[in-house]
Amino acid sequence: MVRALARAVAAFNAQAVDFNWTPVFSFSAMELRKDPITRSWVITGDDLPGSSAQSSSECLFCGDSAQVIAVAPNSPGAPWSARAVVHPNPLYRIEGDPGRRGDGIYDRMRSIGAHEVLVENANHDRHLWNASDEEIGQFLCLASERILDLKRDPRIKYISLFKDYGKNAGQEFGHPTSQLAATMFVPRRVLYELRAGREYFLSKERCVFCDIIQQEERQALRVIEARGDYLAIGPYAPRVPYETWILPRYHESSFERGGQNRPALRPNLAALLRRTLQRVRSITEDFHLVLHTSPSSQHPSKTLGYWKTIDDDYHWHIEILPVVGSKVKSYTFKEVYYSPVSSETSVKQLREARIGG
Ligand SMILES: [Zn+2]
Ligand SMILES: [Zn+2]
Ligand SMILES: [Zn+2]
């Protein structure tokens, strides 16, 4: 895998010349710094305005110019269905030494890792809400395979799969794409979930997500749709209006392992993802989507200790955070989330949205 990525990086460098891409920042300009209080890593440095990518007008992902890392099997009538390519402006790079070091009480390191673009479909206008379930299933399989592969790199602690769609959500490319970031640290929100899941399990010997699913299915107040073994719900305490989670109804900590063990269930997940995004799009075009799955088990952290029970106390899920123009209380943003539509109201609206198929 490392060799494949090194090849891909080399080819990306060659391609960078062809396509006249200017890196957003030079590798040395950005670094990772750890907040000593919350223990969260941030990427920081001087990303000078005007230095962002300049590209030709043609789509980088429609043609054969992007450097391919992995390809999902063909869908009928398409040259390929989904594929992973090197990000043209990676935030994390595979080569080099992290150079992790102390700076007094502080911690810093270079942004070593991997940053890939997952091209969801060969077709420029087939998105996760209007593609076929088979195509979406291929994309989900590709995502599982890429996560499993990146987890084999002993330096990598976590792999984030995310998608930003719409101009208010920081969409980067016109083509239907998601992104994968493999990092040497576990991102903040996932770390909170891992710690909380572990604490809950220690006191109750149950998975907090399984308990949430059980109560939501019993109360049926915030269930948007159930499809086979998957469930879409509005969380009890939403961070933004219309926040939606998709979870497996059975206990499974790892999305990628679940995909391997239960391939026959993927059509249900593909359909639920497609239908849920159609519902969200009945409210707003712009959204963030993120997959939360278990971290690499190659990295037992002695201080956190969450790896010991992770298969029992963590439960993978997809979070969709729509971006709606509302009465934003900016001062509370990220300090105390302010969501001016209740989960019960938003679920009712999403449930009743007119969606196709
Ligand atoms: Zn395209
Ligand atoms: Zn569970
Ligand atoms: Zn989560």
Which ligand minimizes its atom distance to the CA of 189?
Answer: 3
Position 336 scores a pLDDT of 75
Rounded Cα–Cα distance for residues 127 and 159 (Å): 22
For ligand 1, the distance from its centroid to the CA atom of residue 182, given in whole angstroms, is: 24
Q: Which residue has the higher pLDDT, 331 or 141?
A: 141
Position 155 scores a pLDDT of 87
| Residues 6+ away with beta carbon under 8 Å from 308 | 300
pLDDT tops 90 at residue 104: yes
What would you measure as the largest C-alpha separation in the chain, in angstroms?
59
For ligand 3, the distance from its centroid to the CA atom of residue 327, given in whole angstroms, is: 25
pLDDT tops 60 at residue 12: no
For ligand 3, the distance from its centroid to the CA atom of residue 45, given in whole angstroms, is: 27
For ligand 1, the distance from its centroid to the CA atom of residue 70, given in whole angstroms, is: 18
pLDDT tops 70 at residue 40: yes
The residue-averaged pLDDT of 304-322 equals: 85
3-state helix, strand, coil in the chain (%, to 5): 30, 20, 45
For ligand 1, the distance from its centroid to the CA atom of residue 285, given in whole angstroms, is: 19
Which ligand minimizes its atom distance to the CA of 243?
Answer: 3
| Domains in the chain, CATH or no CATH each | 2-48+57-188 (3.30.428.10), 205-352 (3.30.428.10)
pLDDT tops 90 at residue 234: yes
Q: Which residue has the higher pLDDT, 63 or 298?
A: 63
For ligand 1, the distance from its centroid to the CA atom of residue 329, given in whole angstroms, is: 37
Q: Which residues surround ligand 3, an ion (CB under 5 A)?
A: 292
Q: What is the pLDDT of residues 170-223, one digit of tens each?
A: 999 999 999 999 999 999 999 999 999 999 999 999 999 999 999 999 999 999
Q: Which residue has the higher pLDDT, 338 or 133?
A: 133
**Range with the poorest average pLDDT among 5-9, 150-154, 295-299:** 5-9
For ligand 3, the distance from its centroid to the CA atom of residue 276, given in whole angstroms, is: 17
The residue-averaged pLDDT of 231-256 equals: 96
For ligand 1, the distance from its centroid to the CA atom of residue 125, given in whole angstroms, is: 8
The reported pTM is 0.86
pLDDT tops 70 at residue 296: yes
Q: State the SS3 of 166-198.
A: CHHHCCCCCCCEEEEEEECCCCHHHHHHHHHHH
pLDDT tops 70 at residue 7: no
The residue-averaged pLDDT of 72-98 equals: 83
The residue-averaged pLDDT of 104-118 equals: 93
What average pLDDT does the structure give for the chain? 84
